[in-house]
């Protein structure tokens, strides 16, 4: 007799901050961490069993039964579930949505765990490899990945890891009968030969490796080293040690398409190809990579933000590369920081975590100052390359024409003449940020946002960078019929100007407009790396991680954009982006030069940056944050609300404000609600409320109180609202 069947506590992917109770499905009791199909309202959803209960508050009213168990055993361990629970509690986000983030889309949709795997088999080598290399370098590259694999073939996820666009490239080869794509996993893992042990570490690198290797249990290490100082070499030594000890390694990287490069470098040195998770994978490729990590078959996983949730049963080391990068913070839905969760995960597992950067965030530097993280510095470039020289160009004395001053143009001329390459950095895409009437100064604005339309000359369109709406460029002013003209410059205009000024030189623009076609970024980066491109023009897409051997000159076109920002993070961010892009210059034999165009050469920021580098600016900014009580000296959360009527958005946050104030917490400051800096976006009005406290516990207690209140409040239902804990974008 079965008197008390257990009740399942299930995380269902819906925006409600609670667990749901179900009677177990027929058959064996599903284990915590496994998936069940459950009825939800009129739909069926896939849920994850979090645990069991003996009774439910809904028992009396006909508790529903789960329809079916989807897995034979748990997909997520108790430890994985604990991380999900922590994330849900810390970010005050529904646990069902958090659990869904931890799974690849295919599993979220209820598909089978064992993905239909595919492998690529080389049927015959190309007749003339040299011609192919010239005519179709991508095809040649793909064939290179398959060389010597015989009839066993190679698993597609291992190809996708280093060549995200491989399917397009493979199509032509399949048509010609060179390749075949077969179902089923490759029978034999054909590992690439190990290239070598790598360079002898210098003493700073040795010290860093020794310090991290000596940790027993948890330790957070900040590897603070300029670009090219050999951070990756330090990672490699520690990865090697960890793998040799029979444990797995997780490496998190920013979302900038660099994963394949890093995967290749790791492969060369370690002798096998790591599993990779990045945004270009198809759902089934992602599932295969996830499954390999979760089963323990993949020993090393390199992935972007969401990879932080991937189950890894033998995890022994976590590395977050480019820790300062904002892509580690998700800006919508579950607003989590993968960097912070990486630290939490390492701590719960008692293993070391390394946070690497040339420009560590102030949050991380404060932990170093407190002694809770260990600060390891690599002050010099490995292999002895000199750091770049930073110089200001005073725009008051050298007025720019279409964004470029004479000294900068002359420097480009000189560097190209000496066989170098130049990179111009401008964080603004399009032709011009403004279209203005020459007669009455009317400005073309977005009809759905409180913002200006950007001129895109190539597409002959005005485009709103906030909501994406487009319309034809007005030639005459709708107010006075005067002439409309573009004002200011974006990357497109710079590209045009440079091409005109340096005829015969190859100018390549790299921004999200020019890189829309699949594979465009690979081609552009290839041209940049080989030196085929003489001048690179780009947004922050160009500033990170890449290694361009011939690059000797970097020009920062409009540094003042960030100098008077309203966000308390402006200085930190400006210094980070300049130092990061400067790091591209002169990584090999030639010393690099960085020219910064500014109309405020006397500003203290420049004096500090030029004399004391990023560390100087960071020390100043940290002192300033302490005086003003901003993070990391306080903890903040931002409540945002938006609605078609401003009043609805405002009322929602007024409810929150009243409830927060009524708590009477002395250590809690409630600021707002006020209009968001972009007060209307895509037709919705946006307001925000800031909660701030010097005590993290107080802030969380307040949020825990507010969340259910807003879920239940009728007036809040007229608005879309969200909670952002530790926001990176405040204003």
**Residues that bind ligand ADP in the complex, under the rule CB under 6 A:** 199-202, 205, 225, 227-233, 382-383
Pick one of ligand ADP, Zn ion, none as the site partner of residue 466 (Cβ within 5 to 8 A by kind): Zn ion
Q: Are the beta carbons of 529 and 400 closer than 8 angstroms? A: no
Nearer to ligand ADP, 51 or 549 (CB): 549
Say if strands 421-425 and 434-437 run parallel, antiparallel, or are unpaired.
unpaired
Shortest reach from residue 225's CB to ligand ADP, in Å: 5
Shortest reach from residue 357's CB to ligand ADP, in Å: 9
Shortest reach from residue 200's CB to ligand ADP, in Å: 6
- Best CA proximity match to 293, nearest among 271, 309, 304, 269: 309
Pick one of Zn ion, ligand ADP, none as the site partner of residue 313 (Cβ within 5 to 8 A by kind): none
Pick one of Zn ion, ligand ADP, none as the site partner of residue 467 (Cβ within 5 to 8 A by kind): Zn ion
Q: Which residues contact 576 (CB under 8 A, 6 or more apart)?
A: 324, 359, 614
Pick one of Zn ion, ligand ADP, none as the site partner of residue 202 (Cβ within 5 to 8 A by kind): ligand ADP
Select from 414-422, 442-450, 483-491, 542-550 the region that touches Zn ion (CB under 5 A). 442-450
Nearer to ligand ADP, 588 or 607 (CB): 588
Residue selected from 448, 646, 705, 720 as contacting Zn ion according to rule CB under 5 A? 448
What gap in Å lies between CA 399 and CA 396, rounded to an integer?
6
Q: Are the beta carbons of 390 and 610 closer than 8 angstroms? A: yes
Select from 27-35, 39-47, 177-185, 447-455 the region that touches Zn ion (CB under 5 A). 447-455
Is residue 557 classed as helix, strand or coil in its secondary structure?
A: coil
Nearer to ligand ADP, 233 or 325 (CB): 233
Angle at 87 between CA 215 and CA 635, to 5 degrees: 85
Pick one of Zn ion, ligand ADP, none as the site partner of residue 228 (Cβ within 5 to 8 A by kind): ligand ADP
Nearer to ligand ADP, 385 or 507 (CB): 385
DSSP state of 24: P
Shortest reach from residue 231's CB to ligand ADP, in Å: 3
Pick one of ligand ADP, Zn ion, none as the site partner of residue 205 (Cβ within 5 to 8 A by kind): ligand ADP
Select from 210-218, 273-281, 462-470, 499-507 the region that touches Zn ion (CB under 5 A). 462-470
Tokens of 131: 């011609």
Nearer to Zn ion, 464 or 582 (CB): 464
Shortest reach from residue 269's CB to ligand ADP, in Å: 9
Q: Are the beta carbons of 64 and 38 closer than 8 angstroms? A: yes
Select from 58-66, 458-466, 509-517, 717-725 the region that touches Zn ion (CB under 5 A). 458-466
Pick one of ligand ADP, Zn ion, none as the site partner of residue 446 (Cβ within 5 to 8 A by kind): Zn ion
Tokens of 48: 């994850």
Pick one of ligand ADP, Zn ion, none as the site partner of residue 419 (Cβ within 5 to 8 A by kind): none
Pick one of ligand ADP, Zn ion, none as the site partner of residue 201 (Cβ within 5 to 8 A by kind): ligand ADP
Shortest reach from residue 392's CB to Zn ion, in Å: 35
- Best CA proximity match to 292, nearest among 283, 300, 303: 300
Nearer to ligand ADP, 39 or 383 (CB): 383
Cis before 632 (ω within 30): yes
Pick one of Zn ion, ligand ADP, none as the site partner of residue 230 (Cβ within 5 to 8 A by kind): ligand ADP
Residue selected from 107, 317, 408, 464 as contacting Zn ion according to rule CB under 5 A? 464
Is residue 434 classed as helix, strand or coil in its secondary structure?
A: strand
Nearer to Zn ion, 446 or 719 (CB): 446
If you search the block for the tokens 């010597």, which residue do you land on? 148
Q: Is 254 exposed, middle or buried (0-12, 13-18, 19+ CB in 10 A)?
A: buried
Tokens of 206: 């040795």
Nearer to Zn ion, 260 or 430 (CB): 430
What gap in Å lies between CA 634 and CA 669, rounded to an integer?
11
**Helices 362-370 and 604-628: angle between axes, nearest 10 degrees:** 60
Shortest reach from residue 134's CB to ligand ADP, in Å: 27
| 374 backbone dihedrals φ, ψ, rounded to 5° | -95, 125
Nearer to Zn ion, 467 or 477 (CB): 467
- Best CA proximity match to 558, nearest among 342, 400, 681, 692: 400
Residues 169-228 that bind Zn ion (CB under 5 A): none
Shortest reach from residue 475's CB to ligand ADP, in Å: 48
Tokens of 273: 């190809």
Shortest reach from residue 720's CB to Zn ion, in Å: 17
Nearer to ligand ADP, 41 or 384 (CB): 384
Nearer to Zn ion, 271 or 683 (CB): 683
What is each CA distance from 684 to 35, 196, 240, 448, 648, in whole angstroms?
Answer: 37, 57, 51, 8, 11
- Binding footprint of Zn ion, residue count (CB under 5 A): 6
Nearer to ligand ADP, 581 or 719 (CB): 581
Nearer to Zn ion, 150 or 468 (CB): 468
Q: Are the beta carbons of 327 and 308 closer than 8 angstroms? A: no
Residue selected from 312, 346, 467, 556 as contacting Zn ion according to rule CB under 5 A? 467
Nearer to Zn ion, 448 or 505 (CB): 448
Pick one of ligand ADP, Zn ion, none as the site partner of residue 229 (Cβ within 5 to 8 A by kind): ligand ADP
Q: Order of strands, edge to edge, in the sheet holding 461-463?
A: 454-456, 461-463, 470-472
Shortest reach from residue 516's CB to Zn ion, in Å: 19
Shortest reach from residue 689's CB to ligand ADP, in Å: 41
Q: Which residues contact 670 (CB under 8 A, 6 or more apart)?
A: 657, 660, 661, 689, 690, 691
Shortest reach from residue 236's CB to ligand ADP, in Å: 8
What gap in Å lies between CA 334 and CA 88, rounded to an integer?
9
Nearer to Zn ion, 463 or 525 (CB): 463
Shortest reach from residue 570's CB to ligand ADP, in Å: 26
Q: Are the beta carbons of 655 and 637 closer than 8 angstroms? A: no
Residue selected from 64, 85, 466, 646 as contacting Zn ion according to rule CB under 5 A? 466
Q: Is 675 exposed, middle or buried (0-12, 13-18, 19+ CB in 10 A)?
A: middle
Helical (H) or strand (E) element with 720: strand 720-725
Tokens of 250: 């997780």
Residue selected from 163, 243, 338, 449 as contacting Zn ion according to rule CB under 5 A? 449
Residue 446, interface with Zn ion (CB under 5 A)?
yes
Shortest reach from residue 426's CB to ligand ADP, in Å: 24
What gap in Å lies between CA 56 and CA 59, rounded to an integer?
5
Tokens of 231: 């951070």
What gap in Å lies between CA 244 and CA 226, rounded to an integer?
29
Nearer to Zn ion, 339 or 686 (CB): 686
Select from 331-339, 446-454, 498-506, 671-679 the region that touches Zn ion (CB under 5 A). 446-454
Shortest reach from residue 428's CB to Zn ion, in Å: 16
Instruction: Return the beta strands (E) in 549-662 as ranges.
Output: 551-556, 593-598, 635-643
Q: Which residues contact 266 (CB under 8 A, 6 or more apart)?
A: 236, 239, 251, 274, 300, 302
Shortest reach from residue 540's CB to ligand ADP, in Å: 17
**Helices 231-244 and 259-270: angle between axes, nearest 10 degrees:** 60
Q: Are the beta carbons of 668 and 699 closer than 8 angstroms? A: yes
Nearer to Zn ion, 448 or 459 (CB): 448
Shortest reach from residue 453's CB to Zn ion, in Å: 8
- Best CA proximity match to 391, nearest among 612, 561, 597, 586: 597
- Best CA proximity match to 263, nearest among 232, 296, 230: 232
Site residues for Zn ion per CB under 5 A: 446, 448-449, 464, 466-467
């Amino acid at each position: 007799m079965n008197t008390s069947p257990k009740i399942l506590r299930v995380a269902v992917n819906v925006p409600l901050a609670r667990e749901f109770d179900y009677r177990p499905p027929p058959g064996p009791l599903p284990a915590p961490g496994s998936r069940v199909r459950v009825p939800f309202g009129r739909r069926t959803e896939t849920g994850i069993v979090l645990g069991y209960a003996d009774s439910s508050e809904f028992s009396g009213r006909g508790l529903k039964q789960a329809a079916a168990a989807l897995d034979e055993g748990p997909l997520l361990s108790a430890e994985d579930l604990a991380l999900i629970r922590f994330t849900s509690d810390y970010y005050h986000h529904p646990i069902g949505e958090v659990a869904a983030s931890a799974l690849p889309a295919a599993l979220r949709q209820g598909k089978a765990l064992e993905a239909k795997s595919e492998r690529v088999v080389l049927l015959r080598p190309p007749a003339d490899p040299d011609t192919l290399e010239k005519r179709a370098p991508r095809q040649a590259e793909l064939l290179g990945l398959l060389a010597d694999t015989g009839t066993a073939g190679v698993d597609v996820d291992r190809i996708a890891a280093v060549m995200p666009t491989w399917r397009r490239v493979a199509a032509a080869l399949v048509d010609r009968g060179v390749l075949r794509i077969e179902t089923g996993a490759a029978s034999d893992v054909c590992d690439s030969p190990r290239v070598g042990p790598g360079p002898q570490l210098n003493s700073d690198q040795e010290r860093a490796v020794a310090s991290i290797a000596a940790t027993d249990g948890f330790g957070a290490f900040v590897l603070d080293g300029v670009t090219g100082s050999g951070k990756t070499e330090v990672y490699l030594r520690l990865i090697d040690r960890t793998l040799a000890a029979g444990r797995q390694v997780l490496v998190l990287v920013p979302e900038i398409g660099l994963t394949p490069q890093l995967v290749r470098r790791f492969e060369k040195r370690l002798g096998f190809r790591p599993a990779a998770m990045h945004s270009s994978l198809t759902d089934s490729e992602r599932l295969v990579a996830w499954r390999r990590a979760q089963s323990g078959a993949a020993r090393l996983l390199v992935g972007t933000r969401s990879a932080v949730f991937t189950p890894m049963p033998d995890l022994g080391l976590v590395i977050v590369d480019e820790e300062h990068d904002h892509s580690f913070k998700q800006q919508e839905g579950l607003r989590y920081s993968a960097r912070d969760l990486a630290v939490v995960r390492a701590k719960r597992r008692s293993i070391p975590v390394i946070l690497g950067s040339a420009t560590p965030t102030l949050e991380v530097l404060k932990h170093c100052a407190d002694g809770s993280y260990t600060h390891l510095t690599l002050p010099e470039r490995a292999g002895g390359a000199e750091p770049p020289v930073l110089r200001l160009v005073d725009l008051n004395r050298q007025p720019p024409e279409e964004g470029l001053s004479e000294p900068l143009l002359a420097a480009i001329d000189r560097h190209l003449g000496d066989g170098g390459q130049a990179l111009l950095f401008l964080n603004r895409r399009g032709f011009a940020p403004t279209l203005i009437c020459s007669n009455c100064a009317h400005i073309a604005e977005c009809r759905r946002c409180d913002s200006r339309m950007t001129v895109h000359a190539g597409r002959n369109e005005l485009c709103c960078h906030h909501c994406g709406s487009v319309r034809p460029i007005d030639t005459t002013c709708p107010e006075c019929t005067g002439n409309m003209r573009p004002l200011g410059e974006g990357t497109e205009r710079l590209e045009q100007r440079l091409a005109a000024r340096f005829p015969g030189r190859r100018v390549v623009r790299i921004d999200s407009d020019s890189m829309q076609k699949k594979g465009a970024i690979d081609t552009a980066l290839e041209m940049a790396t080989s030196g085929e491109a003489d001048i690179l023009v780009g947004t922050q897409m160009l500033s990170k991680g890449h290694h361009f051997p011939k690059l000797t000159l970097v020009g920062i076109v409009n540094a003042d954009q960030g100098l008077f920002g309203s966000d308390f993070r402006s200085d930190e961010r400006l210094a980070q982006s300049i130092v990061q892009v400067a790091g591209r210059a002169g990584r090999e034999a030639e010393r690099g030069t960085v020219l910064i165009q500014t109309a405020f050469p006397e500003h203290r920021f420049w004096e500090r940056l030029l004399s004391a580098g990023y560390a100087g600016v960071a020390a100043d900014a940290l002192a300033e944050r302490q005086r003003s009580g901003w993070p990391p000296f306080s903890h903040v959360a931002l409540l945002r609300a938006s609605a078609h009527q401003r009043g609805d958005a405002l009322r929602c946050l007024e409810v929150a404000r009243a409830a927060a104030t009524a708590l009477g917490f002395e250590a809690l400051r409630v600021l707002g609600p006020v209009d968001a800096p972009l007060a209307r976006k895509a037709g919705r009005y946006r307001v925000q409320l800031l909660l701030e406290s010097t005590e993290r516990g107080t802030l969380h207690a307040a949020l825990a109180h507010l969340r259910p209140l807003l879920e239940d409040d009728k007036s809040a239902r007229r608005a879309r609202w969200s909670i952002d804990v530790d926001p990176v974008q405040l204003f």
